[in-house]
Structure 1
Amino acid sequence: MLSRIPWVVGSCGLLSAIGAEFDRTRPFAHMVIGTAIHLEPKTAALLLTLRRGGAEIIAAGNLNSTQAETVDYLRAHGVRVVGSTTTDHDTHLAELERVLDAEPHLLLDNGGELFERYLARPYERLLGGTEETTSGRMRLEPLRAELARPVLVVNDSPIKQFAENTRAVGLSVLESFLRITNRTPHGARVTVLGYGACGRGVAECFRQAHAVVSVIEVDPVARLRAHLDGFDVLDRATALSSAEVVVTVTGARDVLLPEDLALLKNDTILANAGHFPDEINLGDAEVTPGAEGIDTVRLVDGKRLYLLGGGHMVNLAGPRALGNSVESMDLGFALQSRCLEAVATGAVGPDSCVVPVPTAIDERVATDYVALRSTSV
């Protein structure tokens, strides 16, 4: 089978331009960059761009999102990849430790796990790095004083929020639902838990696919926004008991609990679009793995539910997952590249610890992307 990776890498116009610049400027010369990130074709484009800047890369994946083909491709192109696809938490943590064994100068984190574990085994030469997710920012905010290094949170960029989280996540979650289940959302009752940037995209994409969408949200202001956006904002019990599909997308743990599962109808489909596989708590339910990432969940009362992707990020779970669009990730990974460049060159200091992307970087990436797209017209 021919690889999709060259197509994806070649489609990342911003990263290609940044890579050509990095060939000349070499901002990461003599540096090691450590990362634990979803290893799929678009992250291959990012890591190879950083390699062009002179970096030695040591990379581990995330739970249930590492694609073996991408691992092979990266290794063939000089990236040291630790481990491969795993759904075992202990194995994943051991791989993080192996990344930190290399004492990277920069960390490209995805969930705050590398920085958190660095604090348990600190070393001198860490300059700082980036954090990709809201989940990671929540984990690292209480640790600012201990980190005392620049850590730029890419997910807090407005570009990342509207281009990837709202638009691209919604599309990729819908695409994954269609691909995994081969079910139509037309007329189906879909309940979305969480109405942040990602939740808004998920709710809107299912609505545009002609589903009947309700939202559960704990934040009163976000609930108001969902209401004004035209969604049913029901009480929790009503929204769950009427649902045929339930999607969690919050970045928090235990969003859907065993007592919530008891409210669901027989044959309800469950999916998680949050970063960690902890949003859906199945309690003592019996889980039978199924083909194509559809697990059967049997509750103690005999009710049958279906869980997609083992509760991992549904848009990146499984060997055929595509994830977010190339264009959205090209933008997000351009931000990553520029933020790591800023840390490596000393353009940001320790006061920029767990803070959003600097405005100047947002503006540069936005300007470059529009210019790139305009020249292709």
Structure 2
Amino acid sequence: MFEGGFILSSEVNLKEAGKQKIEWARNRMPVLESISKRWSQEKPLAGVKVGACLHVTSKTANLLITLIDGGADVSLCGSNPLSTQDDVAKALNEVYGVPTYAKRGEDKESFYNRILTVLDMKPDITVDDGADLINTLHSERTELLKNVLGGTEETTTGVTRLKAMAKDNRLNYPVIAVNDAMTKHMFDNRYGTGQSTIDGLMRATNYLLAGAKFVVVGYGWCGRGVAKDAKGLGARVTVVEVDPVRALEASLDGFDVKSMDRAAAKADFIVTTTGNKNVVDKHHLEQIKDGCILSNAGHFNVEINIEALEEMSNGKQTVRKDVEEYQLNNGKKVYTIGEGRLVNLSAGEGHPADVMDMSFSNQALSVEYIAKGDHNLKNDVYSVPKHIDESIAKLKLEAMGMELERLTSEQVEYLNSWKIGT
């Protein structure tokens, strides 16, 4: 019996199932593989301790294996209670020798205790997704800060938190915002989130999207991807946005643009992609359509006001794996996916390996950049150096069999001259 292309762990042990997933993902991560081959010879991370707080998936496993190939001493915990793949965690521990502290469905106390366990290794470099590792380090293990060379951050929400820390002079070491790399947010956030969010919704519900009224809250890179893919499957997509420029862009991309109040009253599906709090709030829930399915594609489970939903309900029950039904006091029923946590990881397997290849190559090369130390970074948030971003794009193109055109010397001269006109 197979599920999602993998033999179920009931038929082979959990460790082997995880190993299969990791190897399957590796087949579509050629840029990371090329880094591994170089690092296996050069060992640029020899003696460097890397503490990582990331979604424990098959793609993440390949990043950790690459860091080890570079000579790093690595420890990993999960960055979301529902994003850990237990078979991958077991394989990392028992096959690849990566100390991994994560379990799907753990409570909040256990989640943060595992972060503290990773910090026990006294990392030289932190690799984060959501900034929980960095935040815990700055609040509960401040004595370790003096030894940290720098860190990296994977996602929009984490970058936002870190920029706020830097603004308040609370960030005690430099951090590279991997999310801001062009080869990350333009592809991972758009194509990765778009496909994996729809995949999570379809796995959880098995409902038809064609003809459904589908609301996307937020039209950043993630929202663009979700809206595009939902439209491609025939959904009638409405975008909710607070930024007038993004709202205009959504309209010109062919989407209806409405307020949350108006959109909620007609929605069959609502997906939040804002990184902000309570974008589906109590007054929206009071107007929501009977049978609406609520899900979140942002990092933290704060975008849907679950507390208000609980207060407005006289009962709830699990009706499918990862799907809870709320019976509202007004007689309507509303459904949430994965407790309002990341739908693509709580109900699916996360982004395709093809896009995580670029994201995690940015992570790997940014770690190498920090470890080399031939820079003068202050305690602030930095973009991935342009030469790293462009090198990843070139390697990805080569792996896909694509070719770049080259400028002629005449064209270079023309672009650099101000004398040549009409």
Q: TM-score, normalised by structure 2?
A: 0.85
Residue identity in the other structure for 2:389:
D
- Local SS of the residue matching 1:289: strand
Q: 2:107 aligns with which of 88, 104, 117?
A: 88
* Whole-angstrom distance in 2 between the partners of 1:246 and 1:375: 37
* Whole-angstrom distance in 1 between the partners of 2:316 and 2:111: 22
Residue 100 of structure 1 is matched in structure 2 by 119
Q: Deviation of residue 375 (structure 1)?
A: 7.9
Q: Deviation of residue 364 (structure 1)?
A: 1.1
CA offset digits 1:191-246 (Å, max 9, x no partner): 11111000011011101111100011111111111111111011222111011111
Do structure 1's residue 317 and structure 2's residue 346 form an aligned pair? Answer: yes
Residue identity in the other structure for 2:381:
V
Q: Deviation of residue 349 (structure 1)?
A: 3.2
Between 1:267-276 and 1:293-302, the stretch displaced more is 293-302
* Whole-angstrom distance in 2 between the partners of 1:242 and 1:215: 13
Residue 59 of structure 1 is matched in structure 2 by 76
Residue 189 of structure 2 is matched in structure 1 by 165
Per the alignment, do residues 287 and 280 of structure 1 end up closer, same or farther by CA in structure 2, a change over 3 Å counting?
A: farther
* Whole-angstrom distance in 1 between the partners of 2:49 and 2:316: 41
Q: Deviation of residue 155 (structure 1)?
A: 0.8
Q: 1:130 aligns with which of 145, 152, 165?
A: 152
Do structure 1's residue 250 and structure 2's residue 279 form an aligned pair? Answer: no
* Whole-angstrom distance in 2 between the partners of 1:101 and 1:350: 25
Q: TM-score, normalised by structure 1?
A: 0.95
Per the alignment, do residues 352 and 154 of structure 1 end up closer, same or farther by CA in structure 2, a change over 3 Å counting?
A: farther
* Whole-angstrom distance in 2 between the partners of 1:331 and 1:185: 29
* Whole-angstrom distance in 1 between the partners of 2:98 and 2:259: 49
Residue identity in the other structure for 1:64:
L
* Whole-angstrom distance in 2 between the partners of 1:38 and 1:113: 12
Structure with the greater alpha carbon radius of gyration: 2
CA offset digits 1:107-133 (Å, max 9, x no partner): 001111111121122212111110001
* Whole-angstrom distance in 1 between the partners of 2:384 and 2:195: 25
Per the alignment, do residues 18 and 296 of structure 1 end up closer, same or farther by CA in structure 2, a change over 3 Å counting?
A: same
Residue 50 of structure 1 is matched in structure 2 by 67
Residue identity in the other structure for 1:350:
L
Q: Is the 1:148–1:350 Cα contact (8 Å) retained in structure 2?
A: no
Residue identity in the other structure for 1:108:
V
Give ranges in structure 1 of 5+ residues lacking alignment. Answer: none
Per the alignment, do residues 375 and 212 of structure 1 end up closer, same or farther by CA in structure 2, a change over 3 Å counting?
A: closer
Residue identity in the other structure for 1:272:
N
Q: 1:142 aligns with which of 143, 160, 164?
A: 164
CA offset digits 1:277-330 (Å, max 9, x no partner): 111112113432333211111222232111112211111014xx2211111000
Q: Is the 2:124–2:148 Cα contact (8 Å) retained in structure 1?
A: yes
Question: What aligned pairs does 1:1-377 form with structure 2 within 5 A after superposition?
Answer: 1=7, 2=17, 3-61=20-78, 62-76=80-94, 77-120=96-139, 121-122=141-142, 123=144, 124-144=146-166, 145-282=169-306, 283=308, 284=311, 285=313, 286-318=315-347, 321-351=348-378, 353-374=380-401
CA offset digits 1:53-95 (Å, max 9, x no partner): 1111111112200010100111121100113223422221111
Residue identity in the other structure for 1:273:
A
